[in-house]
Chain A
Amino acid sequence: MNKGGFEEVDHTADWSIRVWGSDMEELLRQAAKGMLQLLNARPEEGQGNWLDIDIEAEDPEELMVSWLEELLFLHETKHITFLEFDFRSVGEKHLSAAAKSAPSKRPDKHIKAVTFHNMDIIEKDGNIETEIVFDV
């Protein structure tokens, strides 16, 4: 059983969350959930589609930024949100996943970008965790 979560961290102008999980897969899942909650990205009624997402990166932090950027790009340009994630393969420098999407209600929140600021994936209390700052 993976125990992960996220919580908002106070930031004067932008949005920031602390994310934790037992492994990289859970960290990526919780980060996505945290970002979607900040976006208030609520699904419309209707059938969801599974989208394949494959990402290569230089290190775990870049993998995290690229993963969230991909979801953000799809949310903003295709007006969709995500209901669940199925990670087929996750390493420190790559991921292969399927994301179940659904049409998103008209968004009322906006994230411009996922930043590298303060991002440092570390081990703590048997979990891994990081902070993520979003440009709003």
Chain B
Amino acid sequence: MVRKQDFDQIAPLVWEIPTSYREDMRVPVRVFASEDILEHAMDDKSFSQAVNTACLPGLVSHVAVMPDVHQGYGFPIGGVAASHAEEGIISPGAIGYDINCGVRLLSTRLDYEEVKSRLPDLATSLYHRCPSGVGESGTVPLSNADLEQVCRDGSAWAAKNGYGRQEDVEFTEESGAIPGADPSVLSKRARDRGKPQLGTLGAGNHFIEVEVVDEIFHEEAADAMGLRKGSLTVLIHTGSRGFGHQICSEYVKSFQSAVDRYGIELPDRELVCAPITSPEGREYQSAMACAANFAFANRQVLAHHARSAFEEVLAGSVDDFDLYPVYDIAHNMGKMETHQVNGDEVPVCVHRKGATRAFGPGFEGLPEVYRSLGQPVLVPGSMGTASWVLMGTEGSMAQSFGSTCHGAGRTMSRTQAKKEVWGEDLRDELQQNGIQVRAGSMPGLAEEAPLAYKDVDAVVEVVSDAGIAAKVARLRPVAVIKG
């Protein structure tokens, strides 16, 4: 286990495990954390996993670890690693099974107080319109040809087929489709899992929340994002569902032999990888892009269903019940990007697992309204607690490969949470606090109890003070929809 004395504090909120810690480390690990968060993260295997990650071949500069870090499998959640685009590797397990798990935020022109009495109906309508739960089928069954088109076009497929509009596509990372998707590499099993699942929320920590803008920290950015104090927003958190899980599982397995072929030695089989430029590496990128684009389309379809729920409940009683896109961003993804490393522009594949891209001002790929400000970053908190809207900074570009935190981060196992919390009690407590809850599974609700997570406000203070994101607005939930 990594101990506190193994770290060098290189800045007030940055702690480094140098390569001298273990001889197979190729780059150091840099953790963004307060002393308190750092000490608590030593309770599990987060930093041992970060050290293992630092052994991957072809990494540049350092492995960055966000303050919402917790133990995962192979790669820690909250980890960021950039491998050289020509000499480095790509690792499916380091991106995760839920490829392009991410978050979409929609703003409204509705004041919370104006529609407060309709929230129970709104929560019920969202729950019924947005299929959730394990293995649940969606409302958009796809043919094989449709699925291939979703893989290529992502959000644009959904918008073109009546599940959204052009501005939704524009306000999505990579305009809702990362390049290079090639459905010809997909297995029958991946296709069979993907075809019925478009437009589903899933289970676990996935959710839809209706939230109120509680506090604004950056007026200009909040204005650009359509966020006004007291207005309602909708936050959608889900990913590529069984389609992505299947694709990742297949490549983690097939890469077990790739490491032997390329003479790569690893401390953990879950970190298996292949050179980015190898046939195996290229094929995984093509499959990963299919899953990523499926996830963008999935959140797009759910956003469309959320609009329908608002229309069903509020049409006739308010003038404008529309949901406007703020942004949609991934937090499990491998992206080909260029970053400054020791003064040079270096092409890299940035693996972000439980970490959010947070590009600073001036990035051409942002919608024009955000270009001079920085990319919106969406940070859901634990259920029933605050969520945050941040934006990328020059500091995130300089320190963390344009990345920042993705949530609160767990501190307690699911089993322990269920021992300490009864799902029905939690639902009642949230409802007493003015939060509508619609959940298919009470044990599932208990597993996601706020006490199982870090304080998201403390996590956000770290990334803000360390300069790897800037605060824009704080949101508080008024309705939670879960599988």
Q: How far is the CB of A105 from chain B (nearest CB, A)?
A: 11
Chain B proximity of A43: nearest CB distance (Å)? 16
**Complex CA–CA separation, A79 to B203 (angstroms):** 15
A135 to B96, CA, bound (A): 9
Would you call A127 an interface residue if the criterion is a C-beta within 8 Å of the partner chain's C-beta atoms? no
Secondary structure class of chain B's binding surface, majority of residues: mixed
* B256, A116: Cβ atoms closer than 8 Å: yes
Interface size on B, residues (CB 8 A): 46
Kindly state whether residue B283 has any CB partner on chain A within 8 Å: no
Kindly report which residue of chain A lies nearest to residue B203, judged by CB atoms: A110
**With contacts A10-B413, A110-B204, A135-B97 known, is A117 near B268, CB below 8 A?**
yes
User: Given A11-B71, A12-B410, A14-B72, are A65 and B268 neighbors across the interface (CB < 8 Å)?
Assistant: no
CA–CA, A10 and B410, complex, Å: 13
User: A76-B242, A115-B93 are contacts. A108–B134 as well, Cβ < 8 Å?
Assistant: yes
Q: Which chain A residues in 23-76 approach chain B with CB under 8 Å?
A: 40, 58, 61-62, 65-66, 69, 73, 76
**B441 contacts the other chain (CB 8 A):** yes
CB of A62 within 8 A of CB of B256, answer yes
Asked if A112 is at the interface (CB within 8 A of a chain B CB), the reply is yes
B361 at the interface (CB under 8 A from A): no
Interface string of A83-121 (1 = CB under 8 A from B): 000000000000000000000001111101111111100
Among A114, A117, A133, contact of B249 (Cβ-Cβ < 8 Å) = A114
User: Residues 62-75 of chain B: 1 if any A CB is under 8 Å from the residue's CB, otherwise 0?
Assistant: 00000000111110
Query: Of B70, B256, B272, which one neighbours A13 at CB under 8 angstroms?
Result: B70
Across-interface contacts of B155 in A (CB, < 8 A) = none
A residues 4-19 touching B (CB-CB < 8 Å): 8, 10-15
- Nearest opposing residue in chain B for A108, CB measure: B441
Partner of B70, one of A12, A65, A114, A119: A12
- Tell me whether B73 and A12 are in contact (CB under 8 A): no
Q: A15-B414, A77-B135 are in contact. Are A112 and B74 (CB under 8 A)?
A: no
Contact of B256 among A11, A58, A115 (CB under 8 A): A58
B444: Cβ under 8 A from any A Cβ:
yes
Check A115–B193 contact: CB distance below 8 A. Answer: no
B166 beta carbon closer than 8 Å to chain A = no
9 A/B residue pairs, CB under 8 Å, sorted by A = A11-B44, A11-B71, A13-B71, A13-B414, A14-B72, A76-B242, A109-B441, A112-B204, A113-B248
The secondary structure that dominates the A interface is: loop
Indicate if the CB atoms of B249 and A69 lie closer than 8 Å.
Answer: yes
Q: How does the 8 Å CB contact mask read for B411-428 relative to A, with 1 for contact and 0 for none?
A: 111111000000000000
- Asked, given contacts A58-B257, A112-B98, whether A117 binds B412 with beta carbons under 8 Å apart, the answer is no
A117 touches B134 (CB 8 A): no
- In whole Å, how far is B447's beta carbon from the nearest beta carbon of chain A? 8
In the assembled complex, the Cα of A108 lies from the Cα of B272 at a distance in Å of: 31
The residues of B that contact A114 with a CB separation of less than 8 Å are: 249
Q: Which of A65, A109, A119, A133 contacts B443 (CB 8 A)?
A: A109
Query: Which one, B73, B440, B444, B483, contacts A117 given CB within 8 A?
Result: B73
Asked whether, in the complex, the Cβ of A77 is within 8 Å of the Cβ of B269, the reply is: no
Determine whether the beta carbon of A10 is less than 8 Å from that of B204.
no
In the complex, A49→B416 CA distance in Å? 36
If A13-B72, A69-B249, A76-B242 touch, whether A109 touches B97 (CB-CB below 8 Å) is no
CB of A113 within 8 A of CB of B249, answer yes
Quick one: which of B97, B272, B440 contacts A112, CB cutoff 8 A?
A: B97
Q: Measured between alpha carbons, how far is A60 from B270 in the docked complex, in Å?
A: 15
Residue in contact with B270 in the complex, picked from A15, A69, A115, CB distance below 8 Å: A115
- Give the docked Cα–Cα distance between A69 and B252 (Å): 12
Q: How far is the CA of A118 from the CA of B93 in the complex (A)?
A: 13
- Identify which of residues 230-271 in chain B touch chain A, using a CB-to-CB cut-off of 8 Å: 242, 245-246, 248-249, 252-253, 256-257, 268-270
Q: How far is it, in angstroms, between the C-alpha of A116 and the C-alpha of B92 when the chains are bound?
A: 12
Interface flags, B319-357, vs A, CB<8A=1, else 0 = 000000000000000000000000000000000000000
A11 to B248 CA separation, bound complex (whole angstroms)? 21
Q: A10-B415, A12-B44, A15-B414 are in contact. Are A113 and B245 (CB under 8 A)?
A: yes
- Residue B116 lies at the interface, judged by CB distance under 8 Å to chain A: no
Question: B202's contact among A15, A108, A110, A117, by CB below 8 Å, is which?
Answer: A110
**A135 touching B44, Cβ below 8 Å:** no
Contact (Cβ within 8 A) B415 A8:
yes
Inter-subunit contact B252/A116 (CB<8 Å): yes
Q: Does B121 contact A (CB under 8 A)?
A: no
Per-residue A-contact encoding for B35-62, CB less than 8 Å = 1, 0 else: 0000000001010000000000000000
